[in-house]
Amino acid sequence: MKKTGVILLNMGGPDSLEAIEPFLYNLFSDHDIIQIPRIIQKPVAWLISKTRSKSTREYYEKMGGKSPQKEQTLEQAKELQNLLGSRYKVVVAMRYWHPFIEEALKELFKEEIEKIVLLPLYPQYSTTTTGSSFNEFDRVFKRFHRDIPVIKIKDFHDYPTYIKAMVENIKENLPDYKDYYFLFSAHSLPVKVIQKGDPYQKQTEKTVELIMQHFPENPYSLAYQSKIGPVKWLEPMTDQMIEKLAKEGIKKLAVIPVSFVSEHSETLYELDIQYGKLAKDLGIQSYKRIPTLKSHPLFIQTLKELVLKAEKEA
């Protein structure tokens, strides 16, 4: 029986302390993320990965020695496979660490595949995330010499079932949500990327707007995290916003990751450990970080609907 192949695309993360340096090297070698002359890209990536791996190691030691993103993405794939059924083959492909796109395609082509649906697990589109994964897929796929259609899902930032999943996830993890200030936190991007036409900022703002239609009584704001390097990035930064809210007398703060669908260093270390301590030190009495969607049933339903919709419209 011919099947539709579904590839869940994600960034990936180190699966051991030893994987930190090669993971960072792969990340900073990506020209879609760091746009410097290609002739010096790999030497610069080597230097950055050497220097950053030492400080980054501390994050992962506190997280249990690795990123949980691989296991959580594989679980998402398993649950999606169950929903889609036997006419589909769902695999996972990471951008910067195993399983890479080539590994995913080899696994996929163990079956008789008639078409492929690419489903990035980034709700909002950016050239630095979804765009980078698509570019890498195109480069790798050429080497397989398969003449089959490839359907690309660009984003789902405003997809109704995704918004519903986010709303339900907040309510399930924060029963007394009406008492809290909502601080949405998204991964930041260099402003120059946005100025070139990248839709990430507008799509992130739209996601937040749609979620907040279900919480009309809650005050809220959107901030950004995980800035790297000296160039200007999207602001305000999440830690600066926490400081501002503390000064304004906010005592109950719910931090909601809005650009992540699984846990990794940005949530488990930055939001939980770094910013959790900051909030406590500043006198915020209740700091709650809403978990990412992971395998929330409504999120898996979202992924199923996105695949079926993309197939129908192709």
Q: pLDDT (tens digit, 0 to 9) for every residue of the chain, 314 residues total? A: 999 999 999 999 999 999 999 998 999 898 988 788 899 899 888 998 998 898 889 889 999 999 999 999 999 999 999 999 999 999 999 999 999 999 999 999 999 999 999 999 999 999 999 999 999 999 999 999 999 999 999 999 999 999 999 999 999 999 999 999 999 999 999 999 999 999 999 999 999 999 999 999 999 999 999 998 788 999 999 999 999 999 999 999 999 999 999 999 999 999 999 999 999 999 999 999 999 999 999 999 999 999 999 999 99
CB atoms under 10 Å from CB of 69, counted, come to 26
Model pLDDT, residue 280: 98
- Looking at residue 282, its pLDDT comes to 98
Q: What is the pLDDT of residue 230?
A: 83
Instruction: Please state the pTM of the whole predicted model.
Output: 0.96
Residue found by looking up tokens 């994964």 in the block: 133
Enumerate the domain spans of the chain: 160-289
Q: Name the token pair of 88.
A: 């589909």
d(CA 188, CA 33): 12
Say which residues have a Cβ less than 8 Å from residue 281's Cβ, sequence separation at least 6. none
Signed CA dihedral, 30, 98, 154, 259: sign only: negative
The continuous run of DSSP H or E covering 72 comes out as: helix 69-84
Longest dimension (CA), the chain: 62
Predicted pLDDT at 113: 98
Two structure tokens written together for 189: 């991007």
Residue with tokens 């220097």: 51
Q: Which residues pair with 92 in a beta bridge?
A: 8
Look up tokens 């590994």; give the residue.
Answer: 103
**Strands 150-152 and 181-187, how do they pair?**
unpaired
pLDDT of residue 205: 98
Which 3 state secondary structure label does DSSP give 8?
Answer: strand
Please report the pLDDT score of residue 294 as a whole number: 98
Spatial neighbors of 51 by CB under 8 A, at least 6 apart, are none
Which runs of E-coded beta strand occur in 138-213?
Answer: 150-152, 181-187
Residue 205 corresponds to which amino acid? E
Distance between CA atoms of 149 and 5, rounded to whole angstroms?
10
- Residue 159's alpha-carbon distances to 77, 88, 121, 155, 297, in angstroms, are 19, 22, 13, 9, 15
Does residue 264 sit in helix, strand or coil? coil
User: Where does 160-289 sit in CATH, by number?
Assistant: 3.40.50.1400
Structure tokens at 194: 């946005």
Query: Nearest CA to 261 among 309, 306, 213?
Result: 306
